[in-house]
Amino acid sequence: MCGIIAYLGLQDAVPILIDGLRRLEYRGYDSAGIAVQVDGITQCVRAIGPLSALQKKLSTIELAGNTGIGHTRWATHGSVTEANTHPQQSNDKKISIVHNGVIENFQSIREFLSVQGFQFQSETDTETLANLISYHYSKELESPTQDRFLESVRKALLHVRGTYGIAVLCSDRPNEIIGARNSSPLVLGMGKDEFFISSDVCSFAQHTRDVVYLHDNELVHITGDHFKLITLDREAVEAVRHEVDWDTASAELNGYPHFMLKEIFEQPQAIENALRGRISGDLSSAHFGGLQMTDEELHKINRIILCACGTAWCACLVAEYIIEKFARIPVEVEYASEFRYRNAPLDQQTLIIVISQSGETIDTLAAMREAQQRGLRVLAITNVVGSTIAREADGGIYQHSGPEIGVASTKAFTSQICISILLALHLGRLRDLSFDDGIEIVEALKKLPEQVESILLQSERIRSIAMRYKDCSDMLFLGRQSMFPIALEGALKLKEISYVHAEGYPAAEIKHGPMALITPQCPIFFLACDDHVLEKIQSNMHEVQARGARVIVVAQENSAIHANAANDIIFVPQGHSAVNPILATIPLQLFAYHMGVLRGHNVDRPRHLAKSVTVE
């Protein structure tokens, strides 16, 4: 969940490290620090709070060197203090390390090291690892080798249980960096006379697009002008180089006040990208190049399990409704964090589909691996080319949404739904979905970008609505059928961005408990975009209004909703039932965004949250 950047080259390391950390801010953090090798000494500078606090400290220090590591920390072990901020150093200051992940057995390692005379200045598991490396580095003196530094890191990691992505410096070894990963992303970047190690390619993509993605239990050792890869078992690994197709300009604000608003407005293009090249020639179906499954194999599937976390889990719920309706295949949706520990009965005709924007979500990755361990085929829907989930899945579909920097997912969510519709269409046409029904869905999908654009034009009006509710402390979101997952997503967005307590429910469930919460201070959002249950939704609206609730409605143009049926109505274009969840989502994203801004919050980096959850 934290951000790692390391640099070795001919340039001054500090500006490169700071720029890399700036580009990693979106991942979420509470403190930051760097360590740079200067004249045989590793100098470490750390600060709690925003990156600007670290930059202020650095402005008073002369720190010139061409090898260094940097980190933005999201606290796991230990509170938010300077002592707990990374980089962490060993007792003798020879070893400096930045670390993403969790060392599960750090307490027993710490006890062992305490007996050996090591002392600890922080509460972190990372300092324990720094001292363990130092311990093995000292032991290597007994039989010194050219790879003493590498061996000390490798041997230390053999004792570690847990997850890690690390970059390590040794003051005895100038112009050397060691990186290693286990279930926490790490990528090596190779430029002209320079190398980068990072948890995310966005941190150095402006310098090079030539990368190597590390796999679990691999180490990379950079020495001067070359590098080598080995496993924890000392086996040599041949580097597989990739060229990143990544537009660095897309990770800039480009005139928008926040990344979240920029990415909300990028949704027409993101939807077009999701559709491009995936409509069949007869315009009645969809096709994909990366599923790695024949039509015959897909036709034999008798059950689908969708796994994800957070917003992607809400996308899975929408997919459940759409796939069951149009493909007539039973679908279950699981939180990946629960599925990975369950012993669910599974048969070989069950298809697992995981959804993850980053492709690095640790629970989703673990769920995928558990399913594969049990002999099931796993497909992935993900946005990041080269991510761990993308590489390890048996097949998959890339979203091509472009980088999503805002912590709260927007364009990735609607893209995931769009791809789910295409998948339902493909599976449905392999079964009993008619040609004419397929044509209707394709036509609806092709209209989507323009329809979304028309909703975005209502941004200022939605802001005026948010102004009326910005002081509320609670809100309910209600919908039926495929609008229920959108209610959940709308509530999640509001919680994430504005810190207003919000809950989503199936509208009929209002009478089974939530009705007790209704007051004029608890507004209710109704999603009324499903015509065949519209009368039921209207009945629910009357019930809450009779109890004093203020009502906001998202409804389709030309809807039978009466103007006096709600305090505020946001109209969206008339759409096919398959695409209505996407159309209903856009107003909720804009509402959450404006609520967050009006309440004075940093909507791109909400408190306590991280973009990519890579620790349990």
pLDDT for residue 146 is more than 70: no
365 and 267 in one domain?
Answer: yes
**Eight-state DSSP code of residue 276:** T
| pLDDT for residue 469 is more than 80 | yes
Q: Are residues 533 and 421 in the same domain?
A: no
Please give the share of the chain, as a percent, with pLDDT higher than 90.
71
**pLDDT in the model for residue 250:** 64
* Residue 343 pLDDT > 90: no
Q: Are strands 41-48 and 31-38 parallel, antiparallel or unpaired?
A: antiparallel
Q: Which amino acid appears at position 69 of this protein?
A: I
Given 204, 224, 246, the domain boundary residue is 246
Helices (H), 159-253: none
- CATH number of the CATH domain containing 22: 3.60.20.10
Query: Is the pLDDT assigned to residue 613 strictly greater than 80?
Result: no
Cα 572 from chain centre: 28
The residue among 417, 432, 456 that closes a domain is 456
Same domain, residue pair 544 and 607? yes
Contact (CB, 8 A) for 476 and 524: yes
Give the least confident one: 20-29, 331-340, 353-362.
20-29
Q: Is 495 a catalytic residue?
A: no
Looking only at the bridges linking them, the beta strands covering 524-528 and 551-556 are parallel
Q: Looking at the chain, how many residues does it have?
A: 616
Residue that is last in its domain, among 424, 456, 488: 456
Distances (CA, A) of 404 to 27, 284, 373, 382: 10, 31, 31, 12
Same domain assignment for residues 521 and 422? no
Distance CA 271, CA 253 (A): 20
Give yes or no: residues 417 and 475 share one domain. Answer: no
Answer whether residue 484 shows pLDDT above 70. Answer: yes
Q: What is the mean pLDDT of residues 307-313?
A: 95
pLDDT at res. 28: 66
pLDDT (0 to 100) of residue 246: 63
pLDDT digits (tens, 9 = 90+) for 355-381: 999 898 889 999 999 999 999 999 999
Instruction: Specify whether 554 is located in the same domain as 611.
Output: yes
Q: What is the CATH classification number for the domain harbouring 503?
A: 3.40.50.10490
Residues 418 and 91: their CA atoms lie apart, in Å, by 53
Rounded Cα–Cα distance for residues 588 and 586 (Å): 5
- Report the percentage of the chain scoring pLDDT > 70: 96
> 186-225 pLDDT, tens per residue?
999 999 999 999 998 888 988 998 999 999 999 999 998 8
| Active-site pick, 94, 262, 495, 611 | 611
| Residue whose C-alpha is closest to residue 157's, from 186, 193, 117 | 186
Tell me whether residue 2 is one of the annotated catalytic residues: yes
The predicted structure's pLDDT at residue 616: 57
Claim to verify: residue 325 and residue 423 sit in the same structural domain: yes
Burial 576-586 (b: 16+ CB within 10 A, else e): bbbbbbbbbbb
Q: Tell me, what's the pLDDT at 514?
A: 80
The answer to whether 107 touches 60, Cβ cutoff 8 Å, is no
Same structural domain, 69 and 216: yes
Q: How many CB atoms lie within 10 A of CB 119?
A: 8
Taking a C-beta distance cutoff of 8 angstroms, is the pair 118, 109 a contact? Answer: no
Give me the domain span that covers residue 519. 458-616
Which pLDDT score is estimated for 533? 74
Residue pLDDT, tens place only, 510-537: 878 887 788 888 899 999 887 677 777 7
280 plus 424 within the same structural domain: yes
* pLDDT tens digits for range 404-420: 888 899 999 999 999 99
Distance CA 566, CA 97 (A): 57
Q: Which residue has the higher pLDDT, 310 or 26?
A: 310
pLDDT at 318 over 60: yes
In this structure, the answer to whether residues 121 and 176 fall within a common structural domain is: yes
291 or 39, higher pLDDT: 291
- The active-site residue, picked from 2, 202, 307, 522, is 2
How does residue 612 score in pLDDT terms, banded at 50, 70 and 90?
Answer: low
Q: Are residues 98 and 185 in the same domain?
A: yes
**What's the mean pLDDT when you consider all of the chain?**
91
Residue 143 has pLDDT above 70, yes or no: no
User: What are the helix and strand counts (H, E) for the chain?
Assistant: 18, 25
Q: What is the band of 181 on the pLDDT scale with cuts at 50, 70, 90?
A: very high
- Mean pLDDT, rounded, for 146-169: 93
Q: What is the mean pLDDT of residues 20-38?
A: 85
C-beta separation of 33 from 46 below 8 A: yes
Q: Which of these, 363, 362, 400, lies nearest to 382 by C-alpha position?
A: 400
Q: In what order do the strands lie in the sheet with 187-191?
A: 41-48, 31-38, 67-73, 3-8, 194-198, 187-191, 210-213, 241-243
User: What average pLDDT does range 560-584 have in this prediction?
Assistant: 88
CB 611 within 8 A of CB 407: yes
Residues 409 and 534 grouped into a single domain = no
Q: Is the pLDDT of residue 454 over 80?
A: yes
> Count of domains in the chain?
3
